């Protein structure tokens, strides 16, 4: 049998002191004062008994955690929560933790978080939207040292891995559905359509192209929120209010619209409430569409017609790409470091529910 391990209790008995005194002396707790005689007795007893000190653990936080960082423009839209859910499912499966940076679409916040990445040095970074144009170079530089994946608009090209979305395709799907139902006078309600948020504009452009092909582009009313709205911190109901308030404005301006599209589901919910308040039936008087197929869109009493583009899967795949990059960085092929760029894209799908129907004339 092997020799029994000497403990601090054994040393305490041999030296005639308490176990806590032994522990403090052997661990060099210099904030506690002991006489030279006590220290010598403890050290001598430890040496005679053949005490082998345990490897000291470093302070909490010293251990390198398996950390991924996720950049989000806001956490008020269920779309981003769904993306995070997909990312977290995969990260948890692989033993990774997440650190979420909510930039609130604020350039200074985004810049601050990006600068922090050089100190934090996570094992991977996921952007749940396109980085702001002024930071693209910064993101590409980071990607040379840390795997970076962007869940982006397909038309925004960057030299990094991406889970892509053709936003114009989503807009075209929406338009084709409404055209097929005979809706010739329609409105599209959106958040601010700024240069910084090109993915929004692409969705609207795709919608307009289909109506242009049908020769009735001028029948589409585009109502977008004011640009300064993006300068404020988003509240939980910000996008809902855009849909609600712009629909009320739209109804005061025209009476021949038979369908209203929200850029996303949250806006569509606001549209429906404004129509209900105006005593207009959905879809009897006005059809409504959203986009993203969030949880609320599937509720029986809402039953929103929307576009599914597999948001949770995108989050999962973004995380999966990070894992693949980490694995490839861990080894070399014929002494050459592998370089790979991943691009994943899902085909969007129309989810037809109860808020769209054949057009009826509303004009009196």
Alpha helices, H only, the chain: 8-15, 19-26, 36-49, 78-93, 107-120, 136-143, 167-180, 198-213, 238-253, 265-277, 311-329
Looking at residue 62, what is its pLDDT?
A: 44
Which tokens sit at 62?
Answer: 């010293």
User: Could you tell me the pLDDT band of residue 1, with boundaries at 50, 70 and 90?
Assistant: very low
Considering only residues 220 and 45, tell me which one the structure prediction assigns the higher pLDDT: 220
- Same topology, domains 67-165+311-345 and 167-309? Answer is yes
User: Could you tell me the pLDDT band of residue 30, with boundaries at 50, 70 and 90?
Assistant: very low
Taken in order 347, 353, 359, 363, the sign of the CA dihedral is negative
Residue 17: partners with Cβ closer than 8 Å, 6 or more residues away: 38, 41, 42
pLDDT in tens, 253-266: 999 999 999 999 99
Considering only residues 337 and 223, tell me which one the structure prediction assigns the higher pLDDT: 223
Mean pLDDT to the nearest integer, 220-226: 94
Report the DSSP beta bridge partners of residue 192: none
pLDDT in tens, 174-214: 999 999 999 999 999 999 887 667 778 899 999 999 999 99
> Looking at the domain covering 167-309, what would its CATH class be?
alpha beta
Where exactly are the structural domains of the chain? Answer: 8-49, 67-165+311-345, 167-309
The H or E element spanning position 186 is: strand 186-190
Give the percent of the chain with pLDDT over 90.
Answer: 49
- 85: pLDDT strictly greater than 60: yes
- 247: pLDDT strictly greater than 90: yes
Mean pLDDT computed over every residue of the chain: 85
User: Could you tell me the pLDDT band of residue 6, with boundaries at 50, 70 and 90?
Assistant: confident
According to DSSP, residue 190 is labeled E
Looking at residue 42, what is its pLDDT?
A: 86
Q: What is the CATH number of domain 67-165+311-345?
A: 3.40.50.2300
User: Could you tell me the pLDDT band of residue 229, with boundaries at 50, 70 and 90?
Assistant: low
Q: How far apart are CA 290 and CA 288, in angstroms?
A: 7
The model's pTM is 0.74
Considering only residues 338 and 359, tell me which one the structure prediction assigns the higher pLDDT: 359
Looking at residue 98, what is its pLDDT?
A: 92
Local structure of 262: helix, strand or coil: strand
pLDDT in tens, 108-159: 999 999 999 988 899 999 999 888 888 888 898 888 889 999 987 666 667 7
User: Could you tell me the pLDDT band of residue 64, with boundaries at 50, 70 and 90?
Assistant: low
According to DSSP, residue 295 is labeled G
3-state secondary structure string across 193-238: CCHHHHHHHHHHHHHHHHHHHCCCHHHEEEEECCHHHHHCCCCCCH
């Amino acid at each position: 049998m092997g020799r029994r391990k000497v403990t601090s209790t054994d040393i305490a008995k041999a030296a005639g002191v308490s176990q806590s005194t032994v522990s403090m002396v052997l661990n060099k707790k210099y904030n506690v004062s002991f006489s030279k005689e006590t220290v010598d007795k403890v050290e001598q007893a430890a040496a005679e008994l053949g005490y082998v000190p345990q490897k000291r653990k470093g302070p909490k936080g010293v251990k390198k955690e398996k950390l991924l960082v996720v950049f989000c423009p806001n956490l008020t839209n269920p779309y981003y929560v769904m993306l995070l859910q997909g990312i977290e499912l995969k990260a948890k499966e692989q033993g990774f933790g997440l650190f979420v940076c909510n930039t609130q679409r604020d350039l200074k916040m985004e810049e601050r978080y990006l600068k922090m990445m050089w100190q934090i040095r996570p094992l991977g970074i996921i952007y749940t939207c396109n980085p702001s144009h002024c930071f693209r170079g910064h993101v590409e530089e980071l990607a040379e040292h840390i795997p970076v994946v962007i869940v982006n608009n397909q038309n925004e090209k960057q030299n990094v891995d991406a889970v892509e979305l053709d936003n114009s395709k989503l807009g075209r799907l929406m338009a084709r559905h409404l055209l097929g139902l005979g809706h010739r006078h329609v409105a599209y309600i959106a958040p601010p359509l700024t240069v910084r948020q090109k993915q929004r504009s692409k969705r609207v452009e795709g919608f307009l192209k289909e109506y242009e092909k049908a020769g009735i582009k001028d029948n589409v009313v585009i109502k977008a929120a004011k640009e300064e709205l993006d300068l404020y911190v988003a509240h939980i109901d910000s996008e809902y209010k855009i849909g609600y308030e712009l629909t009320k404005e739209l109804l005061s301006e025209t009476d021949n619209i038979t369908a209203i599209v929200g850029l996303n589901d949250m806006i569509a919910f606001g549209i429906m409430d404004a129509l209900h308040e105006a005593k207009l039936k959905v879809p009897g008087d006005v059809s409504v569409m959203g986009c993203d197929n969030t949880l609320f869109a599937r509720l029986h009493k809402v039953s929103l017609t929307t576009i599914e583009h597999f948001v949770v899967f995108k989050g999962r795949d973004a995380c999966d790409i990070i894992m693949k990059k980490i694995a490839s960085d861990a080894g070399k092929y014929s002494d050459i470091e592998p370089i790979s760029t991943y691009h994943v894209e899902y085909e969007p799908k129309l989810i037809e529910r109860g808020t769209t129907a054949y057009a009826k004339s509303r004009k009196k």
